[in-house]
Structure 1
């Protein structure tokens, strides 16, 4: 029997239920739990898969499994019950980032394939241009077993290659989210920020900051489509002039019928937490820009349509660095849930949050 993806009918909003926070620096089997950058739920095993973005600095690159218990008040417990190392093709672990590194990884997204019972995950690669250190490592899309062993990889289109010139991906703005679609026949992967040739990063006013969403055929492993999606402006200015700021997409989630749940995360230095907006996106009439070299010179005639579902600022609570989203279990009232996870960056002042929402038809 072929596994089927959970598909959602049209819905109007997301209702906040509660937030559960893992203890800071939680230890599990000799590893520090943190940097949780993705979450995916397997409804058959009831397991949640979560990748850590630790670049083999604290412990070897890895992912966790967990059980999440719901009660009448929401998430009552998150219990880590497994950790697996991510292995390279040659069977070795990933080295930590060093000067002029040639092999390292920056784990960001992970999903479980209900058909093959394998996992797929992305690395953002690296782009460092300094006098003492020029490091170019291309991003990757990796297929592994649930034990972390390398199985295969998906070839990337040329516009995802790192360069010393301002062409291709920006550093730390690459393959941030992914989602299976079409009953695990297709894979969508998104950039966090625009390619250099596609235009500027998001600013404080709308400025045609377009990222690309890539579609892959999992049978042929070919990139069959690319779609343009316009980012919102950065939510607030940094507290100090010249402070860091950005807005990008940490994750995408397939809902069926060409629709996705897309999370945008805005950060500005000096402010606590992040500004998170969740959109319902529709790819139905979006232009395939796979042959378009530059969205700045030749913008998409029809970018991905988007509708704001939720601005987490409206919840009036502390929201941290949300990086992953998954469809969770169905509630007793028959409504679907969505669970978001936050990356605490292994900082004591940040939190590994698990946020539970109810899908309102």
Structure 2
């Protein structure tokens, strides 16, 4: 195995390219696995299902308990109460879909009430982003980003990110204690606005839960630009919330400059992470970037924690010499000849094909915007999966 470079958050321009070539022989196949598109299907825009508006689908998981899939909407109770859906999504060698929704339930607070709209400013709103099925109990674990006010003077309250448990009807069943550096403070520490916990994944046994913040913590350095990437934290905890390790994942630089004079800054981050079913050190990581004038770029990386520095006790990654997680590009969705590449945010394993290939199912968040789509695609992965 080649020696691992130590880098800082400010030195990620060439190092990210180097890191992508350094997957360890013991964790991944010597040759990159091949990826092919099985098919895609589009959910109708603002589909009405049981009195709810289907959209904002930002997380998906295959359900080994009840069959089918569970998907989460990132509607913050603006349209209807924060909720999830169950669905049947056929995946086979000849294609994917159509998507048939089979149920929906709102998430509930500990007192049984649904979550209110942020417009109430009562500090009880949530920003749902990811959902996973507990392989041991069949309950749902879901992550929400909370809220960091745009400025200290802004009228909206601080709402802490959380990972909660819910039963299969959405009733509250507990919280996972998050690392202290995931806490939003107004002292220039913690997750940035809309860049908190957006990715969680169980290992194959259900013993470990790994989470990733979408972007770099404030104390860990600046957000990516076209000139440099950034380091984001990936945390592995046991079911009781004890932090076992925390790693630095190298986020790619921005792929293009926005339209001159654009009021919209580039938006990039990690919206989903997916543990290998048989290797708790290996993950698929989804990176999604939007640049005004250039559109979306969505890539899936094969990454490992083997050899990476445990940064659990590192207060700031800015200037700290750390060995980040190593990764290599698995696929760029623009290379798959899709009808379009929009805001993909959810990712889960699908069934194995008769060929032996493992499938990967991704879902897109249309932001309830008619210029974007709720895409569902299936990929086939060959190699050591």
Paired residue for 2:17? Answer: none
Residues 94-145 of structure 1, C-alpha deviations (whole Å, 9 max, x = no match): 0100264411100001100121111100110001144451421110010110
Paired residue for 1:308? Answer: 329
CA contact 1:70–1:77 (8 Å) conserved in 2:
no
Residues 19-74 of structure 1, C-alpha deviations (whole Å, 9 max, x = no match): 10000111111000110010100245322010000000000000000001235531
Provide TM-score, normalisation by structure 1. 0.93
CA distance in 2, matches of 1:337, 1:262: 15
1:175 counterpart = 2:197: yes
250-259 vs 56-65, which deviates more? 250-259
1:327 counterpart = 2:365: no
Paired residue for 2:248? Answer: 228
Paired residue for 1:95? Answer: 116
**Aligned residue among 231, 239, 250 for 2:259:** 239
CA distance in 2, matches of 1:182, 1:315: 28
Larger strand share, 1 or 2: 1
CA contact 2:64–2:135 (8 Å) conserved in 1:
no
1:287 counterpart = 2:309: yes
Cα RMSD (Å) = 1.6
Runs of 4+ in 1 over 6 A off after TM superposition: none
Instruction: Count matched residues.
Output: 350
Paired residue for 2:77? Answer: 56
**Aligned residue among 161, 165, 169 for 1:147:** 169
Specify every segment of 5 or more residues in structure 2 that has no aligned partner in the other structure, as ranges: 1-26
**Aligned residue among 69, 73, 91 for 2:94:** 73
CA contact 2:352–2:358 (8 Å) conserved in 1:
yes
1:355 counterpart = 2:377: yes
Paired residue for 1:261? Answer: 284
1:275 counterpart = 2:315: no
1:104 counterpart = 2:130: no
CA distance in 1, matches of 2:354, 2:363: 23
Any idea what SS the aligned residue of 1:251 has? Answer: strand
CA distance in 1, matches of 2:370, 2:204: 40
* Deviation for aligned residue 1:222: 1.1
Residues 167-195 of structure 1, C-alpha deviations (whole Å, 9 max, x = no match): 11101001011100151000000010000
CA distance in 2, matches of 1:294, 1:44: 40
- The answer to which structure, 1 or 2, has the higher relative contact order (CA under 8 A, 6+ apart) is 2
* Deviation for aligned residue 1:340: 0.4
Any idea what SS the aligned residue of 2:119 has? Answer: coil
Any idea what SS the aligned residue of 1:214 has? Answer: strand
Provide TM-score, normalisation by structure 2. 0.87
Residues 277-327 of structure 1, C-alpha deviations (whole Å, 9 max, x = no match): 111001111111000000003232x11010111111222431110001000
104-113 vs 316-325, which deviates more? 316-325
Specify every segment of 5 or more residues in structure 1 that has no aligned partner in the other structure, as ranges: 1-7
Paired residue for 2:22? Answer: none
Any idea what SS the aligned residue of 2:185 has? Answer: coil
